[in-house]
């Protein structure tokens, strides 16, 4: 008869468990279901209920949503700053080009042949060879030019990423130009002249018109002439000519070389304004 106590114990345990399950079922069925009230943005504002896990989950969702909104606002603000900085850099580059070509030049409107939008290559290596340069030196100058252009592009992108001000960008561009000039200064006048033309930069100052009462008019300078040198210094742009006329003694007599129809003429004039209107152009140098 020993199994009887075991059977009775098992039945008692089953009755107790059944009672507890039935009691819990009715309690759960009759309890109100927590309702989540959300704002228009989708974040939970208030939740009633007795489950700590649900409450913590709602809190976590709120925090994630708030952080997401902050990230979106910060990204929009950063994009606006990047767009503004890009516009400033583009404007600065235009100002630099305008300054290099036109500053101090009497009504000098730069018109460089072979502009970037012409569809032609950036660098005319064949022009160097046509001027009498060796193939190896022409290839070296082309590589130098392309590296300078890439350095300028990388510098521009770096200034955007690091949010440089205008002065820092200008200083870095100046350093880049100085490094380029130290290399180009090693070229002779003929090679440098050809390099400017091959890279589609100004290498001649063309006389557009002359004041009859000026010293240029008295010396016989005519529209269409090219200013080759001033005070024994080779001139490649209107900016360089303007710098040359403003340096030195005003009472000094200087030699001015002009080119007309392929012939070189040398004139002697007083240092100072020539009395001409000019523009800087790119002309294929004679071989």
User: What's the pLDDT score for residue 285?
Assistant: 85
Q: Is residue 175 part of a domain?
A: yes
Of 199, 52, 194, whose CA–CA distance to 124 is shortest?
A: 199
Sign of the C-alpha dihedral, residues 15, 18, 19, 20?
Answer: positive
For residues 235 and 262, membership in a common domain is answered with yes
Q: Is residue 80 part of a domain?
A: no
Q: Is residue 142 part of a domain?
A: yes
User: What's the pLDDT score for residue 286?
Assistant: 73
From 143, 173, 198, the end of a domain falls on: 198
Burial group, residue 267, by CB count within 10 angstroms (0-12, 13-18, 19+):
middle
pTM of this structure: 0.58
Q: Which positions ≥6 away from 284 have C-beta within 8 Å?
A: 127, 130, 197
Cβ–Cβ under 8 Å, residues 282 and 204: yes
- The pair of three-digit structure tokens given for residue 241, joined into one six-digit string: 């000519």
For residues 166 and 187, membership in a common domain is answered with yes
User: Residue 208 maps to which CATH number?
Assistant: 2.30.42.10
**Residue 220 main-chain phi, psi, to 5 deg:** 90, 15
The tens place of each residue's pLDDT in the chain, 287 residues long, gives 444 445 445 555 555 545 445 544 444 444 444 444 444 444 444 444 556 777 777 777 777 777 777 777 777 676 666 656 655 555 555 455 444 444 333 334 333 333 444 557 889 999 999 999 999 999 999 999 999 999 999 999 999 999 999 999 999 999 999 999 999 999 999 999 999 999 999 999 999 999 999 999 999 999 999 999 999 999 999 999 999 999 888 889 999 999 999 899 999 999 999 999 999 999 998 75
Continuous segment of H or E residues that includes residue 46? strand 44-47
User: What's the pLDDT score for residue 205?
Assistant: 96
From 198, 222, 242, the end of a domain falls on: 198
For residues 192 and 249, membership in a common domain is answered with no
Of 206, 199, 202, 167, whose CA–CA distance to 183 is shortest?
A: 199
User: What's the pLDDT score for residue 70?
Assistant: 76
Q: Is residue 250 part of a domain?
A: yes
State how many domains the chain has.
2
d(CA 210, CA 282): 21
From 178, 198, 218, the end of a domain falls on: 198
Q: Is residue 132 part of a domain?
A: yes
Alpha helices, DSSP H, located in 162-273:
166-184, 189-198, 215-219, 238-246
Q: Is residue 15 part of a domain?
A: no
User: What's the pLDDT score for residue 104?
Assistant: 36
For residues 175 and 216, membership in a common domain is answered with no
Of 203, 200, 193, 209, whose CA–CA distance to 108 is shortest?
A: 209
- The pair of three-digit structure tokens given for residue 200, joined into one six-digit string: 């589609």
Instruction: Name the residue range of residue 172's domain.
Output: 122-198
């Amino acid at each position: 008869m020993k199994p009887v106590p075991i059977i009775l114990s098992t039945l008692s345990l089953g009755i107790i468990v059944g009672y507890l399950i039935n009691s819990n079922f009715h309690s759960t069925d009759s309890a109100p279901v927590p309702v989540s009230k959300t704002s228009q943005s989708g974040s939970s504002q208030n939740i009633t209920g007795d489950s700590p896990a649900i409450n913590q989950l709602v809190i976590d969702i709120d925090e994630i949503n708030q952080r997401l909104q902050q990230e979106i606002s910060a990204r929009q603000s950063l994009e606006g700053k990047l767009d503004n900085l890009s516009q400033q850099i583009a404007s600065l580059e235009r100002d630099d080009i305008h300054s290099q070509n036109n500053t101090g030049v009497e009504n000098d409107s730069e018109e460089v042949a072979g502009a970037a939008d012409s569809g032609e290559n950036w660098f005319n290596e064949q022009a160097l060879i046509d001027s009498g340069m060796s193939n190896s030196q022409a290839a070296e100058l082309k590589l130098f030019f392309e590296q300078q252009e890439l350095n300028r592009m990388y510098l521009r992108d770096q200034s955007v990423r690091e949010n440089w001000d205008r002065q820092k960008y200008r200083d870095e561009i100046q350093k880049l130009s100085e490094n380029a000039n130290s290399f180009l200064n090693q070229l002779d006048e003929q090679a440098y002249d050809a390099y400017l033309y091959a890279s589609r930069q100004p290498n001649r100052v063309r006389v557009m018109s002359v004041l009859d009462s000026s010293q240029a008019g008295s010396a016989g300078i005519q529209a269409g002439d090219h200013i080759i040198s001033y005070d024994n210094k080779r001139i490649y742009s209107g900016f360089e000519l303007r710098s040359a006329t403003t340096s030195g003694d005003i009472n000094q007599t200087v030699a001015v070389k002009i080119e007309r129809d392929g012939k070189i003429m040398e004139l002697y004039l007083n240092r100072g304004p020539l009395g001409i209107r000019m523009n800087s152009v790119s002309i294929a140098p004679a071989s």
